[in-house]
Amino acid sequence: MGNKYLYDALPFLKNVDRERQEQFEHYFETAPLWLMETFQIEEVDKGVAFIRENEPADTIYFIGKGVIDATDYRIYGSVYDYMRFKKVYAFGGMEFIMDLDVYKTTLRTATKCTLVKIPRTKFEKWMYSDIRALKNEAKCVGEYLLEQERNSRVTLFLQGADRLALLLSERYVQYNKEGVLQIDEGRQSLADATGLCVKSVNRAVKKFMEDDLVTKKGNKILIDREQYEGLKKMISSKIALE
């Protein structure tokens, strides 16, 4: 189905960056009109868990605008954010591919987000009738699982400040604007993302400031290109960064 129908069904696409537009265009390149008619758009505030582990996986979600985290609450009752998504994925697609009736992770908004919702029954109907779409979804699920496993292996070999250095390096590559990364989230959020306690995060940030690897401006942390290279060098002796 042509892009015109996609942009009519998802008008917010006209106001997002070209990369996000292309991701939606590619994913729904062969989507039929009847599927697009089932799209529902929802605006969700920051910090909302819109998918919860073990709840019925009856809806497929796409992120139109914003960033989300995959969160695990099982680790001694603590929150651990183990994956941050910016790319367009079908959340709930993995459960469909694996014939699971419940979601296997908790997803929450890291920023204010625009979500696109599709009933799973309609999504399944499309997948079963379109081998190209099914193959693309299987590829996306495989990429996600591979990246998650790679990240988990890396975390096993990093401790303390090194974990935070890796996180900040990855965030720089993904989210810097004109060579500068601005981190607005609090220390608890950074602790959740690294599996460290807030005290350890505070010590690491203080050390990075002393070594001129980050700059603090009010409650924000800023990282420029030179500082990113310093963080990258700090952990390059322990892991290979792509």
Beta-carbon contacts of residue 11 (< 8 Å; ≥ 6 apart): none
96: its two tokens: 């469909």
Distance from the first to the final alpha carbon of the chain: 36
Write out residues in the chain with pLDDT < 50, as ranges: 1, 74, 76-77, 80, 82
**Is this model's pTM higher than 0.75 or not?**
no
**pLDDT value at residue 195:** 75
Q: Is 106 helix (H, G, I), strand (E, B) or coil?
A: strand
119-168 confidence digits (pLDDT tens): 999 999 999 999 999 999 999 888 877 776 666 666 656 777 888 888 88
Q: Which residue in this structure is represented by tokens 């322990």?
A: 238
Give the integer Cα–Cα distance in Å for 86 and 196.
23
Beta-carbon contacts of residue 135 (< 8 Å; ≥ 6 apart): none
Query: Which ranges in 80-224 belong to alpha helices (H)?
Result: 93-97, 120-129, 131-156, 160-175, 187-194, 198-210
Q: Which residue in this structure is represented by tokens 């819109």?
A: 50
